[in-house]
A and B are shown apart, each in its own frame.
Chain A
Amino acid sequence: MKTPMTLPLRLLALLAVPLSAPLSGCAMPSTVVRTPDSRPSLSIVGAPPGAVLLVDGRSSGPALAYEPPHVLMVEPGTHQIDIADASGRILYSQKVFVESETKTIQVH
């Protein structure tokens, strides 16, 4: 003998249909294919206040702006790194090679 559905059960059954569609979408696997940004970066430690960072002769602004945790993104390869004071006098100079990692330059 068939028993009739009670009202709360009917409401639940009605709600289950529209709810199941978006919820089943949550379980779908997602695939992402991309090329990550693998550029290297530089961080400067110990630069005096007011010093300017020059990468390959081009100013990148105050050297203190690149103290950890801040790192300056650069292109891979060999770079000429100079730290100059406000008058343009070179205080520190170094040739560096970077590929895809963070290089810390200790100014001393």
Chain B
Amino acid sequence: MSKLPIAALLALTLCACATTSERPVAVESPVSKSVQVSAQQAAAAPTAKRYKTKLAIARFTNETNYGRSLLSDQDLDRIGKQASDMLASRLIKSGNFIVLERPDLAKLKKEQELTGEANLVGADTVISGSVTEFGRSEAGKTGFLSSTTVQTARAKVDVRLVDVKTGHAYFSANGAGEASIESGEIAGFGSKAAYDQTLNDRAIGAAISDVIDRLVSQLADRPWRTSILDVQEGSVFVSGGKTQGLKVGDALVVMAAGDEVKSAQTGFVITLPGKQVATLQVASLFGDNETNEGAVCQVTSGQVDKANLKKLFVTEAAK
């Protein structure tokens, strides 16, 4: 009977222990790295015809009070530039956008003066945003002869996508990221961690990855349409190829664009429905990347007027 109070006391003592969280256990995929990479590339291939949005970063700044006094550059924005670079790098890595350089455009133009070649392309959409929340905290637990300390950096970013032609902000997303380091000791023995500066950068990186995750999963592809490059000896050359989901044998429709009318209600310019002028079939594809791809098509019905190419566009045939 006398053992009961001892057991209760022991249980209470153990309950009062401050224990650290479980460490993540990394498990390697049963699939080899080369198979993983090829499966990733295959999954990225378009299942339907799509055209990647041409994106340029217009502004990505640090709008928090953190990091404004120390290690700032001439624009007093160190974190903004770092985050802007992270955003550009991750947008390219996502494989879902054509990313155009803007922050270092002046350097690019200087280089073009040396080479004498220039063909800068304009963007369909600009991305604007900022680091809207950023901070650090330190919390801990103290138990019977034990204690734990967690240093946490938290960041939040907000972005919006704006149509260059109209200025219409048509999509917005935010992302949050957190990085932490935990140390604990029991009876004076255990782990210690001093201030870790890289936690800040990791939290911003995770927040940017989160926002791109939302862009990738929620941003719907725009309806596919393309232009005619040229008409030569009965063949019609259209812009776009394999990366846009075009395949040999695909049926396409050539449309004459309708008139553009400015809506008195919204102020936006609305294009009236076009008229079908011809149908095409893809005979072959050329080019090896999304910037130089094209398709050679044969006219299956109607006629394509070479003198009027600017008013024509190509879409998918209705199934």
Contacts and interface: CB of A to CB of B under 8 A. Distances in A.
Interface in A32-82: 40-41, 43, 55-61, 65-66, 68-80
A95 B217 contact: yes
Interface string A93-104: 011111111110
The binding surface of chain B is classed by DSSP as helix
Contacts of A41: 24, 26
Given A57-B43, A78-B96, A96 B217 contact: yes
Interface string B18-53: 000011111111110101110110111000000000
B30 A60 contact: yes
A76 B24 contact: no
Interface string B190-219: 000000000000100110110011011100
Interface residues of A, number: 35
A56 B39 contact: yes
B31 A75 contact: no
Nearest to B29: A60
A73 B39 CA distance: 15
Given A58-B39, A68-B24, A101 B206 contact: yes
A97 B212 contact: yes
Given A78-B216, A97-B213, A73 B95 contact: no
B43 A69 contact: no
A99 B90 CA distance: 7
Contacts of A55: 29, 31, 36, 39
Interface residues of B, number: 35
B195 to A, nearest CB: 20
Contacts of B217: 94-97
Given A68-B24, A76-B93, A77-B93, A57 B42 contact: yes
Nearest to A41: B26
A78 B219 CA distance: 14
Contacts of A103: 209, 213
A71 B95 contact: no
Nearest to B96: A78
B94 interface: yes
Nearest to B33: A75
B177 interface: yes
Nearest to B22: A69
A99 B201 CA distance: 13
Contacts of A102: 24
Contact of A79 (B35, B43, B90, B177): B43
B27 A72 contact: yes
Nearest to A102: B24
Interface of B: 22-31, 33, 35-37, 39-40, 42-44, 90, 93-96, 177, 202, 205-206, 208-209, 212-213, 215-217
21 contacts: A41-B24, A56-B36, A57-B39, A60-B30, A60-B31, A61-B30, A66-B27, A68-B22, A69-B25, A71-B27, A73-B26, A73-B27, A73-B29, A74-B29, A75-B40, A78-B44, A80-B43, A94-B217, A95-B216, A96-B217, A100-B205
Chain A to chain B: the 6 pairs with minimum beta-carbon distance, closest first: A56-B39, A56-B43, A69-B22, A97-B213, A101-B206, A80-B43
Interface of A: 40-41, 43, 55-61, 65-66, 68-80, 94-103
Given A77-B95, A97-B215, 10 more contacts: A43-B24, A55-B36, A57-B43, A59-B31, A60-B30, A78-B96, A94-B217, A95-B217, A97-B90, A101-B205
